[in-house]
A and B are shown apart, each in its own frame.
Chain A
């Protein structure tokens, strides 16, 4: 065995995270492993590093759906690309000349073909701007109740904005739910009972029970009401918004 020096120990100690993750070069790895075999402190630290590594690499409990975020980004890109060009500075000289021409009918005459073309371009412009005017006429906010209806077996829910990830996980675990969609642009998630397939189709009693549990939690800002059935009168009360 080679003689270990203090420098070897310090260098090895700094490299232990990458020895644990397998990201050292073959030469560095061989040297570090040689040191670890003869150093109880580094051997114990390597064990700790492996423990931390395994804990941080465990499979996720929450699945993040990229779709809504990506659509939001595309809207941002489109908005930047479709930004209106700066308004032209009014040409006062031309304005005065036109006014003068209006006072002289002979000078104001234009060929009919040009007038038709101008009218056509104007109409085309109005037609293209109509959707924009319509969008402007719509409210600049959206409400939870305007969200798309949830697919069968999925319950739409919005949490308090300030709720930490850990609290959301704890809340869902306690209620027996798992996230299957979202969040969308309004922060709405789709959840389903933890032990039930989302393609179950109908609204099951387990789903109603889940809605009741989530609806009673003050940290839930909004929960999509479930339609009441004849067999379960008043079931939608469980989903009253807070």
Chain B
């Protein structure tokens, strides 16, 4: 699978920012923070459904980035390094806050709705609710793959697990989402068409 999701120029720039942060450059720190805040806020808010918890995870992540920037040697992409920290912080925050209990995949769960989504916006809302039913590892794999567009290997680096584990987590997540949203099993042609047009 491909290894270069973000352009080489972006990777070089972010690597340079991290080097400047290691020297205590706050402008570089603010630039990197702003770059990542938007994409992290989006998927963390969907994961947690709480603004304040998402913000807490982002700041805990960048607290580590500020303190450990000198340890970053460029062995991985800056984004996989930062999101790897975010993943560990998020997992810890979810569990300590008891907002996400590990759920048994074998537990039968009823579908969230029997109606067909009227549009892709409604489908996204339902997906957001369905994601809440997944264990945090599966939820993160879904977000990193579908929303942030990382490859299987990159997700493995972020989540510190082999690529086959990533595939398995996503396999279970897909099965669970189809159980929760039977509409996914028979996607509406008009929604697919609408998405293709947009």
Contact = CB atoms under 8 A, between A and B. Distances in A.
B59 A73 contact: yes
A52 B177 contact: yes
Interface in A1-39: 13-15, 17-18, 20-25, 28
A166 B177 CA distance: 19
A72 interface: yes
Interface stretch (B31-39, B75-83, B104-112): B31-39
Interface stretch (A57-65, A112-120, A149-157): A57-65
A127 to B, nearest CB: 26
A148 interface: no
Interface in A34-67: 47-58, 60, 62, 64, 66
Specify the main secondary structure of chain B where it touches its partner: helix
A227 interface: no
B163 to A, nearest CB: 10
A104 interface: no
B150 interface: yes
Interface in B126-140: 127-129
Interface string A156-181: 00000100111010000000000000
Interface of B: 1-2, 5, 26, 30, 33-34, 37-38, 41-42, 45-46, 49-52, 55, 58-59, 62-63, 66, 120-121, 123-125, 127-129, 142-143, 145-147, 149-152, 167, 170-171, 174, 177-178, 184-185, 187, 191-192, 195, 198
10 tightest Cβ-Cβ pairs between the two chains A and B: A66-B37, A54-B195, A64-B41, A55-B124, A23-B151, A14-B167, A56-B147, A73-B59, A56-B146, A164-B49
